[in-house]
Amino acid sequence: MSASIPTPAGQRCEQCGVQIESNVGMPDKVIFSNGPNGTRSKLWSRVCQFHKTAEQRSKCINQDVELRGPEQKGDAFPDAPSIDVNATNS
């Protein structure tokens, strides 16, 4: 069972501190500590999927695939550009 802290607008994850607001008929809104609001799938792509232990997963409020849905384009952080460490500046 996931642990959460109830808030007036939704719930706050005990594991990472993110807040998820739920409104009937609307997709859940994830309020990150930094940056623009997002979705449960973005939260999964950037945070939740990296929980390794059963204890971490049990505290996460975003483990239900039915609530978060499939990963969307732009959910994951973009790959960093490659760097040629052998290149010299002239």
Cα(21)–Cα(7) distance, rounded to whole angstroms? 9
Residue with tokens 């999927």: 49
Q: Which residues of 56-79 are buried (b: 16+ CB within 10 A; e: fewer)?
A: eeebbbbbeeeebeeeeeebeeee
80 vs 4: which has the higher pLDDT: 80
Q: Is 84 inside a domain boundary? A: no
Q: Mean pLDDT over residues 9-29, rounded?
A: 89
| Reported pTM | 0.76
Number of domains in the chain: 1
The conformation of residue 38, written as its DSSP 8-state character, comes to: B
* pLDDT given for residue 9 in this prediction: 64
pLDDT digits (tens, 9 = 90+) for 21-75: 988 888 899 999 888 999 999 999 999 999 999 999 999 999 999 999 999 999 9
Q: Is 47 inside a domain boundary? A: yes
Q: Which domain holds residue 49?
A: 4-63
